[in-house]
A and B are shown apart, each in its own frame.
Chain A
Amino acid sequence: MEENNLQCNSVVDGNFEEVPRETVIKFKPPLYRQRYQFVKNLVEQHEPKKVADLGCGDTSLLRLLKVNPCIEFLVGVDINEDKLRWRGDTLAPLMGDYLKPRDLNLTITLYHGSVVERDSRLLGFDLITCIELIEHLDSGDLARFPEVVFGYLSPSMIVISTPNSEFNPLFPSVTLRDSDHKFEWTRMEFQTWALYVANRYDYSVEFTGVGEPPAGAENVGYCTQIGIFRKNGGKAMESCVSEQHDQHVYKAVFTTSYPSLQQERFFKLVLVNEVSQQVESLRVSHLPRQKKQDGEWDDTPKDSQASSPCFGPVFTEVEKAKIENSPKPFCVGDKFFVPLQRLLAYPKLNRLCANEETMRSGIADSIPLSSDGSAVVADLRDYSDEQF
Chain B
Amino acid sequence: MTGRARTTARGRARRREQEEQEAPGVPRAPESAASAAEPAQWQWTPRPLREEGPVVRPRQPRGAEGTAQSRGVREPGLEAGLQTLSLQERRIGGVFQDLVVNTRRDMMHVKNSKTGSEGEVVRLIANHFRVISHHQRSAFKYNVDYKPDVEAGNLRQILLNQHIRKFGECHIFDGNSLLLPRPLRERKVEWVSTTEDKKIVKIVVEFSKELAPTSPDCLRFYNILFRKAFKELNLKQIGRHYYTEKIPLTLERRGTSLEIWRGYVTSILQYENGITLCADVNHKLLRIETVYDFISKIQAEAQRGNPQVEVANKLIGSIVLTKYNNRTYRVDGVDWNLNPRHTFNKSDGTKITYIDYYKQQHKEIITVMRQPLLVSQGRWKKGQTGPQRQPILLIPQLCYMTGLTDEIRKDYTSMKDLATETKLSPEKRHNSLKGLRKSIEEEKAQALLQPWNFKFDSNLLSLHGRVLRNANIFQGRRMVRANANGEWAREVREVPLLSPVPLHSWLLLYNNECFREAMILKDYLYHVTAPMGITMRPAHMIEVAGHADSYTNILRKYTRSALQMVICILPDDDKYRYDHIKKYLCTTFPIPSQCVVKKTIEKVQAKTIVTKIAQQMNCKMGGALWKVETNVQRTMFIGIDCFHDIVNRQKSIAGFVASTNAELTKWYSQCVIQATGEELVNELHTCLKAALDVWCENESSMPRSIIVYRDGVGDGQLQALLDQEAKQMSTYLKTISPNNFALAFIVVKKRINTRFFLKCGSRFENPRPGTVIDVELTRNEWYDFFVVSQHVKEGTVTPTHYNVIYDTIGLSPDTVQRLTYCLCHMYYNLPGTIRVPAPCHYAHKLAYLVGQSIHEKPNRSLSTLLFYL
Q: Does A328 contact B (CB under 8 A)?
A: no
Known contacts A12-B200, A387-B572; decide if A92 and B238 are in contact (CB<8 Å): yes
Select B362's contact among A67, A87, A284, A388, beta carbons within 8 Å.
A67
Q: Does B776 contact A (CB under 8 A)?
A: no
Cα A308 to Cα B326 in complex, Å, equals 31
Q: Does B562 contact A (CB under 8 A)?
A: no
| Docked-complex contact B64 and A32, CB < 8 angstroms | yes
Chain A, interface size category, equals 35 or more
Residues of A within 8 A of B (CB): 2, 4-6, 8-9, 12-13, 15-16, 19, 24-33, 36, 57-58, 60, 63-64, 67-69, 82-83, 86-87, 89-90, 92-100, 171, 174, 177-180, 211, 223, 256, 265, 269-270, 272-273, 276-281, 284-285, 288, 302-303, 306-308, 310-314, 366-367, 382, 384, 386-388
Select B323's contact among A99, A307, A310, beta carbons within 8 Å.
A99
| Docked-complex contact A366 and B250, CB < 8 angstroms | yes
| Docked-complex contact A58 and B200, CB < 8 angstroms | no
| Docked-complex contact A272 and B257, CB < 8 angstroms | yes
| Docked-complex contact B194 and A4, CB < 8 angstroms | yes
Contact sample, A vs B, 28 pairs, CB 8 Å cutoff: A8-B200, A24-B60, A26-B61, A26-B64, A28-B348, A58-B68, A64-B38, A67-B37, A68-B363, A86-B154, A87-B70, A89-B239, A89-B240, A90-B68, A93-B238, A95-B75, A95-B286, A95-B326, A96-B400, A100-B323, A171-B61, A272-B252, A272-B257, A302-B300, A311-B296, A311-B299, A384-B254, A387-B572
| Docked-complex contact B57 and A19, CB < 8 angstroms | yes
| Docked-complex contact B64 and A31, CB < 8 angstroms | yes
| Docked-complex contact A179 and B57, CB < 8 angstroms | no
Cα A67 to Cα B67 in complex, Å, equals 20
Note all chain A residues with C-beta closer than 8 A to B259: 269
| Docked-complex contact A92 and B239, CB < 8 angstroms | yes
> Closest CB of chain B to A369's CB: distance in Å?
14
Cα A312 to Cα B603 in complex, Å, equals 38
Note all chain B residues with C-beta closer than 8 A to A100: 288, 323, 400
Among A5, A58, A178, residue most surrounded by chain B Cβ atoms (within 10 Å): A58
Please give the number of chain B residues whose Cβ is less than 8 angstroms from any Cβ of chain A in the complex: 81
| Docked-complex contact B61 and A312, CB < 8 angstroms | no
Cα A24 to Cα B57 in complex, Å, equals 12
Note all chain B residues with C-beta closer than 8 A to A223: 61
| Docked-complex contact A314 and B194, CB < 8 angstroms | no
Select A306's contact among B56, B300, B363, beta carbons within 8 Å.
B300
Residues of B within 8 A of A (CB): 37-39, 53-54, 56-57, 59-62, 64-65, 67-68, 70, 73, 75-76, 154, 157-158, 161-162, 164, 192, 194, 196-198, 200, 231, 237-240, 246, 250, 252, 254-257, 259, 286-289, 293, 295-297, 299-301, 303, 307-308, 321-324, 326, 336, 339, 348, 362-363, 367-372, 400, 407, 410-411, 572-573, 599
Among B65, B231, B295, residue most surrounded by chain A Cβ atoms (within 10 Å): B65
Cα A58 to Cα B159 in complex, Å, equals 12
| Docked-complex contact A179 and B301, CB < 8 angstroms | no
| Docked-complex contact B362 and A92, CB < 8 angstroms | no
| Docked-complex contact B257 and A276, CB < 8 angstroms | yes
| Docked-complex contact A314 and B370, CB < 8 angstroms | yes
Cα A177 to Cα B239 in complex, Å, equals 36
Note all chain A residues with C-beta closer than 8 A to B372: 310-311
Cα A175 to Cα B647 in complex, Å, equals 56
| Docked-complex contact A312 and B54, CB < 8 angstroms | no
| Docked-complex contact B299 and A313, CB < 8 angstroms | no
Cα A68 to Cα B287 in complex, Å, equals 24
Nearest-neighbor residue (CB-CB) of A278 within chain B = B255
| Docked-complex contact B192 and A307, CB < 8 angstroms | no
| Docked-complex contact A90 and B70, CB < 8 angstroms | yes
Nearest-neighbor residue (CB-CB) of A27 within chain B = B61
| Docked-complex contact A82 and B60, CB < 8 angstroms | no
Nearest-neighbor residue (CB-CB) of B573 within chain A = A387
Nearest-neighbor residue (CB-CB) of B193 within chain A = A6
| Docked-complex contact B56 and A31, CB < 8 angstroms | no
Note all chain B residues with C-beta closer than 8 A to A366: 250, 252, 257
Cα A93 to Cα B192 in complex, Å, equals 34
Cα A12 to Cα B411 in complex, Å, equals 67
Nearest-neighbor residue (CB-CB) of A223 within chain B = B61
> Closest CB of chain A to B358's CB: distance in Å?
11
Known contacts A16-B54, A57-B196, A310-B370; decide if A95 and B239 are in contact (CB<8 Å): yes
Cα A97 to Cα B299 in complex, Å, equals 28
Note all chain B residues with C-beta closer than 8 A to A382: 254
| Docked-complex contact B303 and A388, CB < 8 angstroms | yes
Note all chain B residues with C-beta closer than 8 A to A308: 299, 307-308
Cα A274 to Cα B663 in complex, Å, equals 59
| Docked-complex contact B250 and A269, CB < 8 angstroms | yes
> Closest CB of chain B to A95's CB: distance in Å?
6
> Closest CB of chain B to A331's CB: distance in Å?
17
Select B60's contact among A26, A36, A256, A269, beta carbons within 8 Å.
A26
Note all chain A residues with C-beta closer than 8 A to B62: 31-32, 177-178
Cα A5 to Cα B363 in complex, Å, equals 37
Select A2's contact among B38, B196, B289, beta carbons within 8 Å.
B196
> Closest CB of chain A to B242's CB: distance in Å?
10
Cα A383 to Cα B93 in complex, Å, equals 48
| Docked-complex contact B288 and A269, CB < 8 angstroms | yes
| Docked-complex contact A32 and B323, CB < 8 angstroms | no
Cα A311 to Cα B73 in complex, Å, equals 32
Note all chain A residues with C-beta closer than 8 A to B57: 16, 19
Among A9, A64, A99, residue most surrounded by chain B Cβ atoms (within 10 Å): A99
| Docked-complex contact B369 and A314, CB < 8 angstroms | yes
Note all chain A residues with C-beta closer than 8 A to B339: 310
Known contacts A96-B324, A384-B407; decide if A311 and B371 are in contact (CB<8 Å): yes
